[in-house]
Chains A and B, each alone.
Chain A
Amino acid sequence: MILLRTLFPTAALMASLPTAAQMAPADTLADHTLDQVVVTGTRTPKSLLSTPVQTLVISGDDIRKADATDLRDLLSQVLPGVEFSYAMNQQTHMNFAGFGGQSVLVLVDGQRLAGETMDDVDFARLDMQNVDHIEIVKSAASALYGSNAAGGVINIITKDAAATWHANVNARIGRHGQQRYGLSAATGGNRWSTALTASRTAADNYNVSSGPNPVSRVVSTIYGDETWNVSDATVYRPSDRWKMTARGGYFFRQTKRSPDTPERYRDFSGSLRAEGRIGSKGNIDVNYVFDQYDKSDYQRIAHLDIRGYSNVQNSLRALYTHTFDAGNILSAGADYMHDYLYNSKLSGNTRRQDSFDAFAQYDWTITDRLETVAALRYDWFSDGPVSRLTPKVSLRYTPFSGMNIRIGYGMGFRAPTLKEKYYNFDMAGIWIVEGNSSLKPEKSHNFNISAEYNYRNYSITVGGCCNSIRDKIGTGAPYFITTDDMPRLPYINLDTYHVMGLDATLRARWQNGLSARLSYAYVDERLPKDKEGHGLSSEYLPARKHSVVAHADWDHRMSKWYALNIGIDGHYYSGVDNEEFADYYDVSRGTNVIHYPAYSLWRLQMVNSLGKAVKLTVTVDNIFNYRPDYYYLNAPRTDGTNVMVGLSVDIDKLF
């Protein structure tokens, strides 16, 4: 019923919009979106329309319209099949089309991020203020990414530092003490440019109440936090052939969960990248990245800031591409990473690992209508050691103009993480999460197919993927060493695990300023079982089978001094069943099926552009004042309608 309530107004809205024939063809959807250059699928620049690897792009325009603060905020609004729920201690957990954080690679400009909590990166780090666009490649179709990429790659592409002076300040406030302040400034010349971005967010704790007799854990207080995020990118072009980029960043987050011992999270990052042309057909890209993610508890009474976790990654990457006369491209490269992990909950506290990979890819344009990309990748990890050679292949066929069919196969490989091998976490005397140094790597086979048709103002994409993961790593059934011991949850290799997904997106954009998008995703995530076929209680809630995301907006300039963008967003998640142990102390009693209800949320936003420099945004989030009956871990964090007001000023356009 909720699904019908979601789909009907959206479908009615799209049906009532002008048809293509009524519109002038000059400003088509392709002009806006499909010419987007993407790099994630092949690591070489390809247009979104022509890349053989199916790539989903969240454009800068989409990001601006979503007015999102961080990646969690953005993906929740624009992408079906992605859900953020709570894990232990209200850490955010992402389910990305049936894959958890340990199988989804989140990158910033192609670089992986250090640190994790409950297997997920710190999404608050991923400030949307300076993002140009986001590229998403689902499942292991992304040919050149190894460990952690079986579920897909989310690559956040930041804006290039502009050669001209630009400055912006912005602020947004909302309920529960929500505050967001941003600053960006850029300047440059012929040879160099630099861009600085800073943001500050804060939110208070607030209580929520559930009905009687919940069937699973509920949340009674939503905990707030405060963050600081500062980054700088400086580009120097010593010649027309070379470009060098230096980046630095600092991130700080402090929770408000426990007033006497707030948890602190910090990240220090820096990178140095050199890109150049060698001869007329070669390109080289060498990149060094440092990323350090720390967690500490601040003891307010004793004024002690005690660090309990530090993950330091030093990566060096080299990529060479050679373009042949026929337009075919050979890419070859290698990555080296030194991974240092200090964790007071880790057996031995400190672990180190070196990893190395080498890959080669050939992008072969067979005909104008047929293009294929084939790649081989070799991964090696020092802790074990373990290694694997994985092939991947993708193909694009264009039977006629506007139509693309893509097919891909990728073999996935994920080495167990240092945490999964050496964790020894006593969770407040309730249970012990236990690492397993004998874990085998996950191996997976991933198939995907998609069809895309673009005609004037319309675009429709339909795709599907099938993933089979052998030796999936997860927590097994609790066991006891002695009868008076607390239960131990060991990491084990589970039975073969399957995830199947289907998705469809319909987009339209018209000359009169109207645009609309309707996306649907189906995810069938088979619940995990152990090697003997016994049901298990997953540490995370599974993906919801059906989800729909709808968006429509209207852009109109009323006068030289005033323009309006009014948009509506909605998303729907179906209910989901999860198997959970009937009794953690006696797993022979089997599992119960727990049902988590469906929900739908809608949001209205009005952006008023005053002159060239000022934008006043009013957002009504949760316009139908939806409140979950039970605040389960995967319930939305809303306690009713939230009105947010934001102001953005482009200082350089004021004068």
Chain B
Amino acid sequence: MRRIKTVYAAMAVAVALTATACNGILSDIYDEPRDSALGSGQLVVDATNWHDWYYIDFDSLAAIAATGDSAALAHAETSFTPYPIPTALTTEPADTTTGMYTYWFDVFGRGLDNYDKRAFTPTDAQPKPAHWSIAVHRNNVRTNGGAVFETNYSSIADLPPTGAAFASATFTPDEWSERDVWVDQSQMLRSLIGCQGIMVNKVLSSWIKVAIPPMPPAFTGNSHVFIIRFPNGKMAAVQLANYISPKGAKCWLTINYKYPY
């Protein structure tokens, strides 16, 4: 009788477990996607969209910071206006190179180093605000006439007190690119990508490395501090703190900055 009771007890436990574990167990070992609190001297830019550039103006941010209005600064550090990338020509062409370049990339084979130019479509010039320091589009970065040096520092707090310490460093200016700013993936299955022809800073853009293959691409962040020297001689220090949104979207940029540096 005792043994039969044991069997019944075991079956009762089984039924109880069925009722309590329908949606799974141990959900506490996982994290919920959450926005992390904005740190001091930190920007958050949702640059996940393929079709827009976002402009950052360090002078404006410094001016707001000088007022001591922390709410206004927090808003300015997290709110950026999208500037759509033109895909057609609506006015007279500015030059013979501005436009959309269609490249074949060996995305399903040997990788991005194997490519071929297939087409060029002139477009309007990229719109931009009156004042800006850098612009970001996914893993691409442009400077407003600046040049960039990658340091070996992994924290802005560890940098020398002023940018003068990097006076003798070799800064790399923006350069023309017609294969880096990927805009149109609608022909991806033919391995054709529409790319914007535009100046980009390849040193600063290396803060996110995108490897293809594999597909989907593999992203890797570079946490080094970069020094940007602008045409007026001012400097900024920037560091990519994160490039992934809490929900996992790539190119959601959290940027530490110090300006002027």
Contacts and interface: CB of A to CB of B under 8 A. Distances in A.
B7 A238 contact: yes
Interface string B1-27: 011001100110111011001111111
Contacts of A8: none
B189 A584 contact: yes
Contact of A272 (B14, B31, B243): B14
B145 interface: no
Interface string B85-110: 00000000000000000000000111
Interface stretch (A172-180, A294-302, A521-529): A294-302
Nearest to A339: B22
A401 interface: no
Given A272-B14, A274-B11, A314-B18, A308 B214 contact: no
B11 A217 contact: no
Contacts of B27: 307
Interface string A234-260: 000011001010000000000001111
A182 B33 CA distance: 36
Contacts of A88: 215
A316 interface: yes
Nearest to A289: B14
Interface string A193-234: 000000000000000001000100111110100000000000
Given A89-B216, A302-B242, A244 B7 contact: yes
Contact of A301 (B11, B13, B244): B244
A260 B221 contact: yes
Contacts of B11: 274, 286, 288
Nearest to B29: A305
A257 B221 CA distance: 14
B139 to A, nearest CB: 13
A585 B187 contact: yes
A307 B30 contact: yes
A265 to B, nearest CB: 13
B216 A428 contact: yes
Contact of A304 (B10, B33, B187, B215): B33
Contact of A274 (B7, B215, B218): B7
A431 B18 contact: no
Given A301-B221, A314-B21, A220 B188 contact: no
B22 A312 contact: yes
Given A238-B3, A238-B7, A244-B7, A431 B109 contact: no
B109 A214 contact: yes
Interface string B108-138: 1111000000000000000000000000000
A585 B190 CA distance: 8
A310 B30 CA distance: 11
Interface string A302-343: 101111101010101000000000000000000000101010
B231 interface: no
Interface string B224-245: 0000000000000000011110
Nearest to A215: B109
B152 interface: no
B167 to A, nearest CB: 32
B46 to A, nearest CB: 15
Contact of B50 (A218, A305, A429): A429
B186 A306 contact: no
Interface in B28-52: 29-34, 36, 50
A257 B218 contact: yes
Interface centre among A286, A296, A302, A484 (most CB of B within 10 A): A302
B18 A288 contact: yes
Contacts of A486: 185-186
B160 interface: no
Nearest to A301: B242
Contacts of B108: 217-218
Contacts of B244: 260-261, 299, 301-302
A429 B248 contact: no
A268 B186 CA distance: 40
A102 interface: no
A12 interface: no
B151 interface: no
Nearest to A270: B17
A270 B24 CA distance: 12
A90 interface: yes
B36 A302 contact: yes
B30 A305 contact: yes
Interface in A410-451: 427-431
Interface in B156-194: 185-190
Contact of A428 (B26, B215, B221): B215
B259 interface: no
A316 B220 contact: no
Contact of A583 (B190, B219, B247): B190
A258 B210 CA distance: 10
B200 to A, nearest CB: 21
A268 B13 contact: no
Contacts of A270: 17
Given A210-B109, A316-B18, A297 B190 contact: no
A152 interface: no
Contact of A429 (B6, B110, B111, B188): B188
B260 interface: no
Contact of B10 (A244, A290, A297): A244
Interface in A536-594: 583-585
Contact of B213 (A221, A288, A301): A221
A306 B248 contact: yes
Contacts of B187: 585
Given A428-B215, A429-B50, A585-B189, A239 B3 contact: yes
Contacts of A260: 219-221, 244
B217 interface: yes
B248 A288 contact: no
B84 interface: no
A244 to B, nearest CB: 6
Nearest to A292: B24
Given A242-B7, A306-B246, A484 B186 contact: yes
A646 interface: no
A290 B17 contact: yes
B21 A290 contact: yes
A487 interface: yes
A487 B187 CA distance: 10
Given A304-B246, A427-B216, A585-B189, A292 B25 contact: yes
Contacts of A464: none
A261 B221 CA distance: 10
A239 B1 CA distance: 11
A218 B77 CA distance: 43
13 contacts: A223-B214, A257-B218, A268-B26, A288-B18, A290-B18, A302-B242, A302-B246, A305-B30, A312-B24, A316-B18, A428-B185, A430-B189, A486-B186
Interface of A: 88-90, 210, 214, 217-221, 223, 238-239, 242, 244, 257-261, 268, 270, 272, 274, 276, 286, 288, 290, 292, 294, 296-297, 299, 301-302, 304-308, 310, 312, 314, 316, 338, 340, 342, 352, 427-431, 484, 486-487, 583-585
Given A304-B33, A304-B246, 9 more contacts: A89-B214, A268-B25, A272-B14, A274-B7, A288-B14, A294-B30, A302-B242, A306-B248, A430-B185
> Would you list the 8 A-B pairs with minimal beta carbon distance, nearest first?
A288-B14, A238-B3, A584-B189, A307-B30, A312-B24, A428-B216, A217-B108, A258-B218
